[in-house]
Structure 1
Amino acid sequence: MKNVDYIIVGDGYAALFFAHQLILNNKSFVVFSEQKKSASQISAGIVNPVVLKKFTTFWKAQEQIDFLKKSLKEIETYTGENYLIDSPIHRIFHDENEQKLWVKKAENTELKNFLDKKFDHLNVVKNDFLTGKVNQSARLNVKGFFNGVMSFLESNGHLIKEKLNYSEINISDSIYKDFHFKNILFCEGMGVKENPYFSDIAVIPNKGHHIRVKLSELLPQDITIKKKHFLFPLESGLHFYGGTYDREQLHHDIDDSAVEQLQRGLSEFYPHNFEIKEVHFGFRPTVKDRRPIIGHHPEYKNFFVFNGLGARGILNGCFFSKSLFDYIENNLPLPEEISLERFNKKDAV
């Protein structure tokens, strides 16, 4: 029997960023990974402090950006690579009204550090009304991040490549197979719906498709272009374009309508030939109030959940992993905005 401080169930952003907190604090742990492609692993990896439909920001945006940069430097010390790509977002304006709104919002205290007042014109793509640059935006090298961190976990004996079987958890003795654990943390995304301990948490599946395309006319390599969706280069020579949001078509197949939507969206501003080489989709775990869900089981106090990261999985997963660690290890209260217990209150959203 091996004693561990934590069993982590899952292998997306929530799981790996929490594992990072455990590494920093010399805690013993194992990660149970099904070795499937999670929504995190096929995500765009966009690091963006601005909601680009309305030109607004969100709760703790600057703190989350700063904490991510710090955490990725820490992760670099044991993987040997920093996975943050300096690829700022350039938002294509639809018309003059969007330009004016951007300028107005750039005076806002919360947004002045994010919305660049100098507009740019990009080659190759249609941007008749120019583009606005989002300062402090970037991308995560998603493939590199997961490969690098998972390789580190495996080489240090932290990775168990199998699906955890809930029925084999001995709750009263905190034992799972050969492991005696102090705490068990479930970071399963939409897989939580199969979890007998947390299947009723308020996460809503949101299906997202993206396409990987071969472009006939190449774009600048150091930026991310955004109109309806994000377009940026991949190491493979292809470009990523996506992703869609769909709460209705939740079957486990590619939706032709989503692919058509992406094809039309790209054609709107990329007036050259392109070829769709790959189509990918995943299910984001979203929450009505757009905040993560973190907490412990009402009966089993060493059973925890970390879920509901939504479309900002990188920032949410990184920043709130520290909140969860401090909650468990240092008895610091969770912010009410992310606590599982907020749904038990009469005024819950």
Structure 2
Amino acid sequence: MKNVDYIIVGDGYAALFFAHQLIRNNKSFVIYSESRKSASQVSAGIINPVVLKKFTTFWLAQQQIDFLKSTLQEIESYTGKNYLVQAPIHRVFHDENEQKLWLKKSDNNELSQFLNKEFERVDVVNNPFNTGKVNQSARLDVNGFFNDFFLFFEENKQLIKEKFDYHKLNVSESVYSDVSFKNIIFCEGMGVKENPYFSDIPVNPNKGHHIKVRLSEAIPQNLTIKKKHFLFPTHNDLYFYGGTYDREQLHHHIDESAVEQLVNGLSEVYPYDFEISEVNFGFRPTVKDRRPIIGVHPENKNLYVFNGLGARGILNGCYFSKSLYDFIENNIPLHEEVSLSRFR
């Protein structure tokens, strides 16, 4: 029988950032991963403090950005790499009215540190009205982040590559299969709908597609272009373009209308030839009030849920992983806006 402080179920941002909290606090754990690409693992990795449709910000944006930067430095101490890619977002303006709105919003106290007042022209892409740079925006090296974390878990015998079987869980004895535990954290994304303990939490799937493309004319490497979707260089001379949002077409295969939407969007901002190399999709777990869902099971006090990170999985996963750890280990109450109890 193996004894651990924690079992983590899941392999996206919630699971990995919570695992980091356990590593930095010398807690023992195992993590169950089905070894298939989660929504987190096919995400763009955009780190962005601004809602780029309306030029607004969101709850705790600055605190989340600051906490992510310090957390990635802590992670670097054991993986040997920092996954923060300094490639700020350049929002392509549709017209002069958007330029004026950007400048007006940049005088707002909440937004002044994020909206750069100096407009810039970007080579190669269509931007007749220039672009606005989002200060403090960046990207996460998604492939490196997940690959290195799983390698670290494997080397430390913390990774179990199998689907978690709820029938093997004895809650009253705190035993799962041949593992004795103190607490289980369920970080399953949309997989939570199969979880008999938390299947009723109100997370809804939002399907997102992106394409990887080869461009005939390279765009600058040190930035991220945003008009309808995000465009940026990735590995092997490919570029990421996406992602879409769809709450209706929830089947588990590629939706051609989403691919068409991406091709049209890319053609609008990129006037040269391109070739699609691959198409990916995932299901983001979203919540109506746009807040994560974190908490303890009402009867089984050794079972916890960490879900509903939505489109801001990196920032939400990083920041609230510490809130969950402090809730469990230090009895620090969860913020009522993210607590599971708001639905009970």
TM-score band by shorter chain is: over 0.9
- Residue equivalent to 1:274: 274
Separation in 2 of the partners of 1:2 and 1:270? 54
**Which residue pairs with 2:23 in the alignment?**
23
Matching residue's letter, 2:244: T
Distance 2:83 2:77 in 1: 12
Letter in structure 2 aligned against 1:179: V
Partners of 2:56 and 2:236 in 1: CA distance: 33
The equivalent of 2:181 in structure 1 is: 181
Q: Could you tell me how far apart the structure 2 residues matched to 1:301 and 1:93 are?
A: 50
Per the alignment, in what secondary structure is the counterpart of residue 305 of structure 1? Answer: strand
Amino acid at match of 1:156: N
Q: Which stretches in structure 2 are left out of the alignment for 5+ residues? A: none
The equivalent residue for 2:238 is 238
Q: Partners in 2 of 1:182 and 1:262 — Cα distance?
A: 46
SS of residue in 1 equivalent to 2:267: helix
**Which string of whole-angstrom CA distances, capped at 9 and with x for unpartnered residues, describes residues 150-173 of structure 1?**
111110111111111000001110
Shift of 1:343: 1.3
SS at 1:240's partner residue? strand
CA RMSD of aligned residues (A): 0.5
**Identity of matched residues, %:** 74
**Where does 1:53-92 land on structure 2 (aligned, <5 Å)?**
53-92=53-92
Q: Which residue of 2 aligns with 1:136?
A: 136
Partners in 2 of 1:83 and 1:216 — Cα distance?
Answer: 28
**SS at structure 2 position matched to 1:40:** coil
Q: CA offsets per residue over residues 194-248 of structure 1, 9 Å max, x none?
A: 1111011000000000000000011000000000000000112110000000000
Task: Please give the TM-score of this superposition, normalised by the length of structure 1.
Answer: 0.98
2:7 maps to 1:7: yes
Q: Deviations over 1:113-144 (max 9, x none)?
A: 00000000011111011000000000000000
Distance in 2 (alpha carbons) for counterparts of 1:115 and 1:15? 32
Q: Look up the match of 1:170.
A: 170
Listed as ranges, the matches of 1:1-349 within 5 Å are: 1-344=1-344
Name stretches of at least 5 consecutive residues in structure 1 with no aligned partner.
345-349
Q: Give the letter aligned to residue 125 of structure 1.
A: V
Map Cα deviations across residues 290-309 of structure 1 (whole Å, 9 max, x no partner): 10000011110110000000
SS at match of 1:147: helix
For residues 182 and 216 of structure 2, what CA distance do their matches in structure 1 show?
A: 55
Q: What is the deviation of 1:176?
A: 0.5
- Between the aligned partners of 1:128 and 1:118, the Cα distance in structure 2 is 15
AA aligned to 1:57 is T
